[in-house]
Structure 1
Amino acid sequence: MEKKKIAVIPGDGIGKEVVPAALKVLEVVSQLNEDLQFDFTEFPWGSEFYLKTGEMMPKDGLETLRDFDAVFLGAVGDPERVPDHISLWGLLIQIRRGFQQTINLRPARYFQGLDSPLKNPNGFDIVVVRENSEGEYSDSGGRIHHGEDEIVIQNAIFTRKRTESVMRYAFQLAEKRRKSVTSATKSNGLVHSMPFWDEVFAEVSEDFTHINTKKIHIDALAAMFVTNPESFDVVVASNLFGDILTDIGGAIMGSIGMAPSANINVTGEYPSMFEPVHGSAPDIAGKNRANPIGQIWTAKMMLDHFGKQALGEEVLQAIENVTKQGCKTPDIGGSCSTTEVTDEICRNLQNLI
């Protein structure tokens, strides 16, 4: 029997509602599969913790998390009381960078029963592999002077090691899917970083000649995510470009509340972290209206990471069964509560397994 130690950080806002929902689904998985068990340890870190202590997590937080098999995060953010740069850099980004979670996976696919804003969603099924540690989100730069002489510099840092790593990961993922990789670029505008990105993509693709490849400028690619999403399989992108594309992915699914993600440490030296894309949504927090699917799909990605892909597919099928039956939260056109959707997914999962 495998027993996975999971560090659970519900965080802020609706994280405190959707994380328990996803844990309930994982408990059903473990009840029906004695070979896989979970040991959950919850940590009260986040904006409330910051308001009490002046820190988003303790100084030894990374050391505390290091011995876990994975980190399961809900949401971070309380913009009315804690500035975003403090909440994000004090917890989420600190874990990503401290544990060298250099790859961010974000899938988007059509679910039966959802009203996609697209006229013809055509069963799209995309995974964006986003470089997660450098690029446009590097913290290199600064501000000098004041008033009309003020100068702001924001440097985008690209290293060959990280760029090649994320591209190889994308190609290896495509081998398990539909054998197609698209590179998001902008080499006609960014004259140093993106030509370098294109060069590395061309070099890596030589080792995967059986994989179909194309490179598309980010502005055109963003439009094609709306007009022709079914034409894409795996998309590899820099930190900023991947962030933008995956928000579009959430939108064409019908709600950002559907979107999951995984922050992967490729070496296994540190735990990977699993979190939905949607954020803390303070406007609906505490109202039992939050969509739990993004967090539950994130749990499915954690199962995949543990090598339990068959179980993960059962979770995904249970989600689609529920959307097809019409049990949906208000953000995707339904009237069901967070609790009702979660309970229905659990019931479907029990029937499937």
Structure 2
Amino acid sequence: MKKWDIAVIPGDGIGIEVTPEAIRVLDTIADIHGGISFQYKEYPWSCQYYLEHGVMMPEDGLQQLEQSDAVFLGAVGDPKLVPDHVSLWGLLVNIRRGFEQVINVRPAKQMSGIDSPLVDPKGFDFTVVRENSEGEYSEVGGRIHSGEDETVIQSAIFTRRGVTRTMDYAFELAKTRRGHVTSATKSNGLVHSMPFWDEVFQDISKNYNSIETQSIHIDALSAYLVSKPHAFDVIVASNLFGDILTDIGAAIMGSIGIAPAANINLNGKYPSMFEPVHGSAPDIVGKGIANPIGQIWTAKMMLDHLGEQEMGTLLLDSIEEVIEKGIKTPDIGGTSSTTEVTDHILNTLTLRA
């Protein structure tokens, strides 16, 4: 039997509520499969941990996580307790950078049973591949002077290695989907970084003659994700552009509460990390209405990454069946609780198997 060691960080807010629901689903998947099992080790790192210890994770935190096969994260952040830039960079970004999780992947698709805010979403189904280690989110910069002379510099860093591996990932993904890659650019405004991005995209495209390509400026592309999202398959984007586009993707699905994400390590040296997009949602903590779909769909992405694609497909099919039956939390128009939605997914998994 194959045993997968999963490092679990429920984190903050609803992360503490939805992570156990997803673990219930993973355990059911293991029972159905019969040839795999999951062993979990939970870590209490969170904003509450910060208040008690002065750090979001201990100094040897990465070493503690390193031996796991994957990191399963719930949510990070509670601005009433800890400033967002402290909590985010102290835990989530620390893990992403420390474990060389250089690719971020976020799918978005229309799901039957969820009302999209779009009048006619036309069954959109696209995935954004986001550069996850540099770009506009580099730490290069600083402040000088004060008062009227205060000056702030934030430098965007793009390397050929970083851009190339992101685009290669996007093209390889497109080969398994509908064979189309769209590059998010802004070369008419950012006169150094984005022309470079475009050049690398053109170079990489030559290695994938079977893949159709296009480059679209980020402002127009953002509008197109609202007006014609069905036209896109794989979108490759820089760190900032990808971050923005994926929130649009979550919004047009009908709720950020259902959107999953994966932070991928490509070289095999470290585990990858899987987290829903929704964040800690402190306004609904303790009400029993947090949508577990984002965390459970994230579990599906983790299964795929671990090579258990058949189980991942079974899980997503079960999620969609439950939603189509109208078993939903209030954020997507339902009346079910967090646990009730999970219970129905478990039942559907068993019946489908």
Interval containing the TM-score (normalised by the shorter chain): over 0.9
What corresponds to 2:175 in structure 1? 175
2:261 alignment partner AA = S
What corresponds to 2:40 in structure 1? 40
What corresponds to 1:79 in structure 2? 79
Whether 1:233 aligns to 2:233 is yes
Gaps in structure 1 of 5+ consecutive residues? none
Whether 1:151 aligns to 2:151 is yes
C-alpha distance in structure 2 between counterparts of 1:36 and 1:221, whole Å = 41
C-alpha distance in structure 1 between counterparts of 2:291 and 2:196, whole Å = 40
Deviation at 1:27, TM superposition (A): 0.6
C-alpha distance in structure 2 between counterparts of 1:338 and 1:344, whole Å = 10
What corresponds to 2:62 in structure 1? 62
Whether 1:202 aligns to 2:202 is yes
Aligned pair count reads: 353
C-alpha distance in structure 2 between counterparts of 1:173 and 1:310, whole Å = 17
Deviation at 1:179, TM superposition (A): 0.4
What corresponds to 1:293 in structure 2? 293
What corresponds to 2:27 in structure 1? 27
What corresponds to 1:250 in structure 2? 250
Runs of at least 4 residues of structure 1 off by over 4 A?
none
Deviation at 1:34, TM superposition (A): 1.3
Matches within 5 A, 1:1-353: 1-353=1-353
Deviation at 1:309, TM superposition (A): 1.1
Deviation at 1:310, TM superposition (A): 1.2
Deviation at 1:312, TM superposition (A): 0.5
C-alpha distance in structure 2 between counterparts of 1:264 and 1:201, whole Å = 20
CA RMSD, aligned part only? 0.5
Report SS of the residue matched to 2:285.
coil
C-alpha distance in structure 2 between counterparts of 1:139 and 1:239, whole Å = 13
Deviation at 1:158, TM superposition (A): 0.3
Do the aligned residues in 1 keep the contact of 2:164 with 2:200 (CA within 8 Å)? yes
Identity %: 65
Residues 106-156 of structure 1: CA deviation (Å, up to 9, x unaligned): 000011000000111111101000000000000100011111111000000
Deviation at 1:218, TM superposition (A): 0.3
C-alpha distance in structure 1 between counterparts of 2:319 and 2:175, whole Å = 25
Residues 183-217 of structure 1: CA deviation (Å, up to 9, x unaligned): 00000000000000000000000000100000000
1:293 alignment partner AA = I
1:305 alignment partner AA = H
Gaps in structure 2 of 5+ consecutive residues? none
Report SS of the residue matched to 1:174.
helix
Report SS of the residue matched to 1:156.
coil
Higher mean displacement: 30-39 or 98-107: 30-39
1:148 alignment partner AA = E
C-alpha distance in structure 2 between counterparts of 1:114 and 1:31, whole Å = 29
C-alpha distance in structure 2 between counterparts of 1:274 and 1:84, whole Å = 20
2:218 alignment partner AA = I
C-alpha distance in structure 2 between counterparts of 1:171 and 1:155, whole Å = 28
